[in-house]
Amino acid sequence: MIRVNEEVKRALKEGKAVVALESTIISHGMPYPKNVETALKVEAEIRKYGAIPATIGIIDGVGIVGMSKEEIEEFGKRKGIVKTSRRDLPVIFARKLWGATTVATTMILAKEAGIEVFVTGGIGGVHRGAPETFDISADLQELANTDVTVVCAGAKAILDLNLTLEYLETYGVTVLGYQTYELADFYTAHSGLKLEYKIDSPEDGAKIIKAKRENNLKGGILITNPIPEQDAMDKKVIDDSINKAIEEMQKLGIRGKETTPYLLAKISELTGGESLESNIRLVLNNAKVGAQIAIEYAKIK
């Protein structure tokens, strides 16, 4: 049920660096046309460092690994694309629907295609209030089980980051701070939460990926790369907006898979678009680091 584009197929066969990208960030994470512009810029950034991008999504029930420019454009505009996590996949495949892949399903399809490194903005995690709502992103279970390295700016700040780290620890996910011991906080660099490990360079990261794979230590690796200081938001401004957005969401009774898209859009509205700009910058910054790690990994694997 997957189709890998020719360029990506060739690169994988020759052992070159390929970087997977998700499509939920396009269809549900950002408004049109910024979503498409960003997706294409991220691809260009990955190429700039010498790796091949492979944006992943599901078209008419077929998992596409390496969408064309036209397909990305369509993902940015089309209504009714289903946000697809692991539980949704069989339905999307059987009914030949369009599915936007989340971190979880992008990992599944990347693994299937043989891609190790995947770049996104922020992963899903344990939501605030999860002890009551049980809302824990399926992304975390996927990281526990699927052999892909995810480069991100931490878990989205709308979450409970402390509980997210606890969950990752319990499920044996290797978490590495990129040039820092502090967990990145999506819109800002500082969550105040300490990580066990930092990597100093892409080579350093590649060696750890290799060690995990060589020793058959099943599961994902999470590399958290903080947003550059000049692109980060003011902590107080973003925290206030997040709290307001969560309050609003509870009033409206929004739950489940709608939570994350609602909050991202609402926070952007409350910050006058500033959070969206930060989101775009942090993804581009992750693309740079992810491409470099993929290149170093391709050299030693």
Residue window 73-112: x/- pattern of binding to ligand PSU, with contact defined by CB under 6 A: -----------------------------xx---------
Q: Which long-range contacts (CB under 8 A, 24 or more apart) does 248-256 make?
A: 255/133, 255/135, 256/135
In the complex with Mn ion, which residue's Cβ is closer, 111 or 257? 257
Which residue out of 156, 257, 266, 288 is catalytically annotated? 156
Binding positions for Mn ion, 107-136, rule CB under 5 A: 135
Q: Collect all residues with Cβ–Cβ distance below 8 Å to 88 and sequence separation of at least 6.
A: 82, 99, 105
What's the Cα-to-Cα distance from 150 to each of 45, 142, 176, 217, rounded to whole Å?
Answer: 17, 11, 10, 16
34 is catalytic: no
**Rounded least distance, CB 249 to Mn ion, Å:** 12
Q: Counting contacts by CB under 6 A, is residue 154 touching ligand PSU?
A: no
Residue window 6-45: x/- pattern of binding to ligand PSU, with contact defined by CB under 6 A: ----------------x-xx--xx----------------
Sign, CA dihedral 10-16-19-20, equals positive
Q: What are phi and psi of 196, to 5 degrees?
A: -75, -35
Binding positions for Mn ion, 258-297, rule CB under 5 A: none
Angstrom distance (rounded) from CA 110 to CA 171: 21
Q: Counting contacts by CB under 5 A, is residue 74 touching Mn ion?
A: no
Task: Quote the tokens at residue 242.
Answer: 């997040």
Q: Say which entry of Mn ion, ligand PSU, none residue 53 contacts (CB below 5 to 8 A, set by partner kind).
A: none
Question: Which residue's CB atom is positioned nearest to ligand PSU?
Answer: 121
**Rounded least distance, CB 15 to ligand PSU, Å:** 28
Q: Say which entry of Mn ion, ligand PSU, none residue 66 contacts (CB below 5 to 8 A, set by partner kind).
A: none
22 is catalytic: yes
Binding positions for ligand PSU, 114-153, rule CB under 6 A: 120-122, 124, 137-139
**Rounded least distance, CB 285 to Mn ion, Å:** 26
- In the complex, the residues that contact ligand PSU under the rule CB under 6 A are 22, 24-25, 28-29, 102-103, 120-122, 124, 137-139, 257, 259-260, 264, 279
- In the complex, the residues that contact Mn ion under the rule CB under 5 A are 135
Active site residues: 22, 156
